[in-house]
Structure 1
Amino acid sequence: MTTERSGDGRGESEAERADRQWQELIQEIRVAQTGVQILFGFLLTVVFTPLFHGLEQTDKNIYIVTVVLGALAAGALIGPVPFHRIVSGRQIKHEAVVWASRLTFVGLLLLLATCTSALFLVLRVATHDHLVPWLVSGVLGWYLLCWFVLPLWARVRYTSTALS
Structure 2
Amino acid sequence: MATSSQQGKVDRNWQELLQELRVAQTGVQILTGFLLTLPFTPRFEDLEESRHAVYAAVLCCAVAATFLLMTPVALHRALFHRHARPWLVEAAHHSSRWGLGTLALANVGAVWLILDVVATTWVAWLVATLVVLFVLVAWVLVPAREVKID
Tell me the TM-score normalised to structure 2 length. Answer: 0.95
Q: Distance between the aligned counterparts of 1:152 and 1:40, measured in 2?
A: 30
**Structural mapping, 1:99-118, within 5 Å:** 99-118=91-110
Q: May I ask how many residue pairs the two structures share in their alignment?
A: 150
More helix by share: 2
Aligned to 1:97: 89
Q: Shift in Å at residue 81 of structure 1?
A: 0.3
Structure 2 residue aligned with 1:81:
73
Q: Which residue of 1 aligns with 2:31?
A: 39
Q: Does residue 1:128 correspond to 2:120, yes or no? A: yes
Deviation at 1:132, TM superposition (A): 2.2
- Residue 130 of structure 1 and its aligned partner are, at CA, apart by 2.1
Gaps of at least 5 residues in structure 2 are none
**Counterpart-to-counterpart distance in 1, 2:34 and 2:102:** 17
Deviation sequence 1:108-139 (CA, Å, 0-9, x none): 10001000000110011111242321221011
> Once the two structures are aligned, what percentage of the paired residues are identical?
35
Measured after TM superposition, the shift of residue 148 of structure 1 is: 1.9
Runs of at least 5 residues in structure 1 that lack an aligned partner in the other structure: 4-11, 159-164
> Which amino acid is the alignment partner of residue 63 of structure 2?
A
Tell me which stretches of 4 or more aligned residues in structure 1 moved more than 3 Å: none
TM-score by length of 1: 0.87
CA distance in 1: counterparts of 2:97 and 2:129, whole angstroms: 21
